Amino acid sequence: MNEPQVLTFGCRLNAYESEVMRVHAAGAGLRDAIIVNTCAVTSEAERQARQAIRKARRSHPDSRIIVTGCGAQIDPQGYAAMPEVDHVLGNAEKMRAESFDALAAGAGTRILVDDIMAVRETAGHLLAGFGERARAFVQVQQGCDHRCTFCIIPYGRGPSRSVPMGAIVRQVQALAAAGTREVVLTGVDITAYGADLPGRPTLGQMARRLLAQVPALPRLRLSSLDPVEIDEDLWRLIGGNPRLMPHLHLSLQSGDDLVLKRMKRRHSRADAITVCRRARGLRPDIVFGADLIAGFPTESEAMFENSMRLVEECDLTYLHVFPYSARRGTPAARMPQVAGTLRTERAARLRAAGEAARQRFFASRIGREVRVLVETSSDGSASGHCEHFAPVRLDGPAAAGTLVAARISSADDSTLIGRLAA
């Protein structure tokens, strides 16, 4: 192995940052190295990362193993104590080219992790080829100022800080010029965008400017949104700009007010329902995804049933369900815990409700025409995603990176099936 290999765990932001590291490592001339970009959102994510580190050492006994990401930021000594690990980089340090210059020169220290809470700025990184050829992810924000009782991520990511609008526009202009048809704006808490910038621009203002200044970009998507932080400019875009895709992913976590209060969330059950109704009133075809936690400490069966009912009341289509995972150092870890078997069982019930909702949505698409962003093409067929982010398999050839019209003829368990429009 010569070129550095990057193993990524966790969120889309981590995937974006892995590509930044790949570029920095290649530019520095770093060779025979494995970079492990860890996640700390659950204990299972950390277990998988440690397992991958051990496997990497067995497979590549002579390579340098560099561990970074949220797990490394939160517990640098723990990862450095692993005999397989050569270097540990913090979340701020991993984004700096000079960190990889030092490693390539043999001057890198074993642990290079500074206080992430002292970081006050973040920069956009121009990645003309990141993501699939047709779709790219652009970081617009980093860190989080909230302190949800279950979440360790603010201690791995630091305070909320935003990429200036001009840098975002320049990156998206370059991506669109290179053939990218869809951009996804990503971050840790993107609805907090702009509070730290001069003039305090909002996410909606930034997205509006982005769409106005990059007319060559056909599609814009947003990653996870805090339901009570959607600003009025973003509401106007939802209702009035077809280039903003009709698919919103909401950070809901629970459908019970007492659980939400104990989570220290900023919205109520009624807020979640109101947001979904308002969005659907502005754009009747909009679909929603949501993050939900099953088995949060103190959650009773009645509280859990409120989350189950929220799937129907908000007409949620795509669910990301997590059984609660206690994170050492968080307030929720000190609360009375729900039995692990019950967490698993409730997560399975929520996932089943989500699968039923997704199948209802798939059935509603049959006979309708959609626009598909083609991502893969081979052997006379193609596949991609439609406006609502449902996967679509096409019955004929279409070039990757193109937007094509198709009529949905059927669906299987995971995919819509469409015929290319004449």
| 319 located within any domain | no
Q: What is the pLDDT of residues 348-403, one digit of tens each?
A: 999 999 999 999 999 999 999 999 999 988 877 899 999 999 999 998 888 888 99
Determine the pLDDT at residue 122.
59
State which of 230, 245, 260 marks the end of a domain: 245
One domain for residues 108 and 209: no
Indicate which CATH number applies to the domain containing 81.
3.40.50.12160
Looking at the chain, the whole-number percentage of residues with pLDDT higher than 90 is 61
Task: Tell me which residue range forms the domain holding 48.
Answer: 5-114
Determine the pLDDT at residue 133.
66
One domain for residues 91 and 53: yes
One domain for residues 16 and 131: no
Determine the pLDDT at residue 125.
52
**Whole-number Å distance between alpha carbons of 14 and 11:** 5
Listed range (33-47, 290-304, 323-337, 378-392) with the worst mean pLDDT: 33-47
Beta strands in 192-344 (DSSP E): 219-222, 247-253, 287-294, 318-323
| 285 located within any domain | no
| 183 located within any domain | yes
Q: For residue 156, what pLDDT band results from cuts at 50, 70 and 90?
A: confident
* 121 pLDDT higher than 70: no
* 287 pLDDT higher than 70: yes
Determine the pLDDT at residue 341.
96
Q: Which of 388, 394, 391 is nearest to 407 (CA)?
A: 394
One domain for residues 27 and 11: yes
**Whole-number Å distance between alpha carbons of 168 and 138:** 8
Indicate which CATH number applies to the domain containing 393.
2.40.50.140
| 120 located within any domain | yes
Indicate which CATH number applies to the domain containing 168.
3.30.750.210
Determine the pLDDT at residue 120.
57
Determine the pLDDT at residue 128.
47
3-class SS of residue 83: coil
One domain for residues 193 and 90: no
* 63 pLDDT higher than 80: yes
One domain for residues 125 and 170: yes
**Contact of 66 with 35, CB cutoff 8 Å:** yes
Determine the pLDDT at residue 131.
47
Determine the pLDDT at residue 258.
98
Q: What is the pLDDT of residues 236-273, one digit of tens each?
A: 999 999 999 999 999 999 999 999 999 999 999 999 99
List, in sequence order, every residue forming a beta bridge with 394; answer none if it has no partner: 382, 418
Determine the pLDDT at residue 108.
66
Q: 375 is written with which tokens?
A: 């991502």
Determine the pLDDT at residue 112.
81
State which of 61, 82, 114 marks the end of a domain: 114
Listed range (8-12, 120-124, 370-374, 408-412) with the worst mean pLDDT: 120-124
**Contact of 26 with 19, CB cutoff 8 Å:** no
| 197 located within any domain | yes
Q: What are phi and psi of 69, to 5 degrees?
A: 95, -175
Instruction: Give residue 263's region: left, alpha or beta (phi > 0; psi -120 to 50).
Output: alpha
For the chain, give the mean pLDDT.
90
State which of 114, 148, 170 marks the end of a domain: 114
| Number of domains into which the chain is organized | 3
List, in sequence order, every residue forming a beta bridge with 323; answer none if it has no partner: 294
Q: What is the pLDDT of residues 122-134, one digit of tens each?
A: 555 555 444 456 8
Q: Which whole number is the average pLDDT over 174-203?
A: 94
Q: Which whole number is the average pLDDT over 171-181?
A: 92
**Whole-number Å distance between alpha carbons of 261 and 297:** 12
One domain for residues 188 and 137: yes
